[in-house]
Amino acid sequence: MKGRPPGTPKSDDPAKKKRKRFARERDLCDVKIKITEHFPDATFSADGSINASPTTSFPPLHPFPDGIVRPSNSQGSVKKYWTIQRVNGNGGNGKGDGVPGPHKHTLQKSDEIKKSTVQRFLAAQEKEAKKGQKAAQQKRPSGNALVTAKKHSKEHALKLYAASFCPFSQRVWIALEAKGMSYQYCETDPFKRPTQLLEANPRGLVPAIRQGDWASGESTVILEYLEDYDRGVPLLPTDPRLKANCRLWIDHINAKIVPAFFALMRTPDVQRQTEYIDRLRGDTMALVQAADERGPYFLGGDLCLVDIHLAPFVLRMSRILREFRNWRDPVPGTRWQQWSDALEQNPHVQATTSQDELYVETVDLFLRARPQYGEQPRHTPASVPHLLNDTLATAQIATGPLPGLMQPDTSVVEDLGRALALAGHERTAGVDVFVACVEGVVSLDGGDQEAP
């Protein structure tokens, strides 16, 4: 409908655009609705014309108390008629008086053009709304975290793609700082799903790391990789039993504490909030009881991966849960207060922590979009995937307890026990029931699942 033919040079005449706009307003088929009112006794002919009686076409005039003579409406029972017509708005003379003019296209084509115009207008509005929404989502590190991010902004082979308001990203960030490794911090907006993030983690989730042509996602996997890659500052004990115990309670954090935290934040029901508070407090106290009695950290005086997995959520308990869910601070003088204070005051944790306002402002955004960018907590002990693979490989399905599957989730043990009892000694049925029982609870490849 507009534009110049290909190859035509653009005019420099400043008045040309104004003239063309006026011509379009004059010449385009501006279809309008014409409503005509007809008084009583009007009749409609077969050709569509209307015949009005000269005696009743117009109501009698009547002087009103204000001195103005108006048509009288005394005939309350008399019916009137209206006709609705589609006519040219501007017509051939450009005056907009409805005088018919030459159409460049049909009324149907005019409707299509107007519909397209409306759709373009709505699309433009939606685009502007998305721009404003994305602008609100842009949250950069602040405070100590901003200083640390600038310090590690130079190009480096080891890149960390993280979001400052994501607790899972902060886990990896704390570990990098604790180990004193050289790296490049890349603040990433997971809602935009940039190419660099998708190349490092095809799921488009943070955190993710890239080192040369190798990349990985999931904070637990990344932390294990960093521990194996850099032995300078160990974050796991060398004793095999202590190391296994640490991994057991890391799984407790991911399977118990993290889901309870998000369940508490998501529910608006006050009664259920109380239930989730008790659940979160109980799961936290179980972890505290398993920690070293002297403290201040899980294994005593040194920071370990258990502390790093827990630290981002301890920070958010005091900043988010206390603000929105009446979460009470640890009782003074308790082991839990000693641990919380130690994590809050740890220099590596502080170096990756933004100002409190950032966490408060992004809590709704994080909870609403978490499946899109945040990793999901696991629901079963870390030993279950390996046990399942070993069991299926040997196909030794039998009733009775399974060795090695004792803690920390007894409900999983009960479910597996029921599955084995249903299976009996039938090999094929046993495998089917076994897999059906753990489907949705454990991932065969060890991946993370959606929180309940």
Question: Which residues belong to CATH 1.20.1050.10 in the chain?
Answer: 240-302+304-345
Phi-psi region of 66 (alpha: psi -120 to 50; beta: other; left: phi over 0): alpha
10 phi, psi to nearest 5 deg: -75, 135
Closest CA to 226 of 182, 186, 185: 182
Contact between residue 352 and residue 174 where contact means Cβ atoms under 8 Å apart: yes
How many C-beta atoms lie closer than 10 Å to residue 161's C-beta?
27
Q: Which tokens belong to 168?
A: 């899972």
Q: What is the DSSP string of 293-343?
A: SS-SSSSSSS--HHHHHHHHHHHHIIIIIHHHS-PPPPPTTSHHHHHHHHH
Contact between residue 236 and residue 305 where contact means Cβ atoms under 8 Å apart: yes
Peptide bond into 190 cis (omega under 30): no
Which single residue is written with the structure tokens 């935290």? 261
Question: Which residues belong to CATH 3.40.30.10 in the chain?
Answer: 144-229
Q: What is the DSSP string of 121-139?
A: HHHHHHHHHHHHHHHHH--
Angle between helices 383-394 and 427-438 (to 10 degrees): 160
Instruction: Please state, in angstroms and as integers, the Cα–Cα distance from residue 406 to each residue in 88, 415, 449, following that order.
Output: 82, 12, 21
| Calpha distance 209→214 (Å, rounded) | 8
Question: In the Cβ-directed half-sphere of 431, how many Cα atoms lie within 13 Å?
Answer: 10
Q: Which secondary structure element, helix H or strand E, spans residue 35, and what is its range?
A: strand 31-38
CATH code of 240-302+304-345, in short, is 1.20.1050.10
- Confirm whether pTM is higher than 0.85: no
Angle between helices 410-423 and 427-438 (to 10 degrees): 150
Q: Which tokens belong to 212?
A: 């040369």
pLDDT, position 145:
97
| Calpha distance 276→68 (Å, rounded) | 75
How many C-beta atoms lie closer than 10 Å to residue 24's C-beta?
13
Q: Which CATH number fits domain 144-229: 3.30.70.100, 3.40.50.10800, 3.40.30.10, 3.40.640.10?
A: 3.40.30.10
Which residues of the chain carry a pLDDT beneath 50?
1, 54-58, 62, 64-66, 69, 74-76, 135-136, 371-417, 419-452
Q: Which tokens belong to 67?
A: 């001195």
Contacts for 299-303: CB closer than 8 Å, 24+ residues apart: 299/237, 299/242, 299/246, 303/178, 303/235, 303/346, 303/348
342-389 per-position pLDDT tens digit: 999 999 999 999 999 999 888 876 676 554 334 444 443 443 443 344
